[in-house]
Amino acid sequence: MALSILLTSRDQCQRMFLLGSSNASDTSRVELRQLEHFIAVAEELSFTRAARRLHVVQSGVSAAIRSLERELGCSLFERTSQQVRLTGAGAALLPEARATLHAAQAAQDAVRAAQDTLRGTVNVGAMASVEVVDLPALLGQLHARHPAIDVRLRLATTGSAGLAHALLSGDLDVAFLSLPEHKPAGIDARELATVPLVLVVSTAHPLAQRGKVALADLAGEPFVDFPPGYGNREVVDRAFAVAGVVRRVALEVPDIDMGAALVRHGLGIAFLPAFAVARTPGLHVLDVHGTMLRWSMHLGTSSTRRPSSALRALLDLVDLHVIAL
């Protein structure tokens, strides 16, 4: 009895990649190099940028993608003169391609560890103005111990939310970030430090004459704060929402020292970490009645991917470089 199964092009592409062909005469092979090129184009959504990232000529990237599409029997990208975007089959293939490269890297790590030579790449994400870990010292010690490990550092432009997304997607292996009380599924997080957020105003601000205020007293004040997506912004937003107070954020800056300077010059008030207040003159700290805000910083890794030997080497050094805040 013959059994026929009709597959869509997307299903067929997934099946060929994930399960392989049951036909012994089928000699198609998907190479790691093709998957690396595919991931680069999928993340950059540009053949030009992907080629620059891979340090190869654009024609080489295009040839690798055409070859991969030929092997899988489906289109992975929709190409126009204005844009490149993933097809449904390409979107389905992306997480599997990342997992395959991670598995290949783990196999290489195992062999190199047996040879006492630690190599590999670690993609690290961090927030630019939050000094939870002495990152230069940490990376310097890692390099001194394992000079063959390649570190790629990304400073967040979209806050902890962007770092968490990059961890989940596989763009980052580890991130220093601030996570909410309910951690996102797929992320293992370890708290590194917790600091109080204090209300600060300029010494010339009328509120500086008061010893204590309530959140309701601040409803009409312009605030300086981080953009949405940053952990400290989420802590403050949640406190005002719970209190039923609407506040106005007039200025958004992703830098603690810049925020403190804006407050000092009378452009708004802010909840800032206590360590930033101590190093900025011209600020006055106010007690907030019935409110204690705390901002936690974490070390985040993926809970679904096995850490490489290179990543484990970095994680082993983190605690040596945590800064007392």
Q: Which residues contact 288 (CB under 8 A, 6 or more apart)?
A: 199, 212, 213, 214, 215
User: Is the model's pLDDT at 22 over the cut of 50?
Assistant: no
Question: What is the structure's pLDDT at 2?
Answer: 30
Q: Name all domains of the chain by residue range, CATH numbers in brackets.
A: 9-17+27-100 (1.10.10.10), 105-192+297-321 (3.40.190.10), 194-295 (3.40.190.10)
CA distance 100 to 39: 11
What is the average pLDDT across 179-188?
86
pLDDT, position 9: 41
Residue-wise over 180-207: b if at least 16 C-beta within 10 A, else e? Answer: eeeeeeebebeebbebebbbbbbeebee
- Look at residue 313 and tell me whether its pLDDT is greater than 70: yes
Is it the case that residue 149 has pLDDT exceeding 50? yes
pLDDT in tens, 98-119: 888 888 877 877 776 666 668 8
Q: Please give the share of the chain, as a percent, with pLDDT higher than 70.
A: 89
User: Does 3 have pLDDT greater than 60?
Assistant: no
Q: How far is the CA of 227 from the CAs of 36, 232, 282, 299, in angstroms?
A: 33, 9, 24, 21
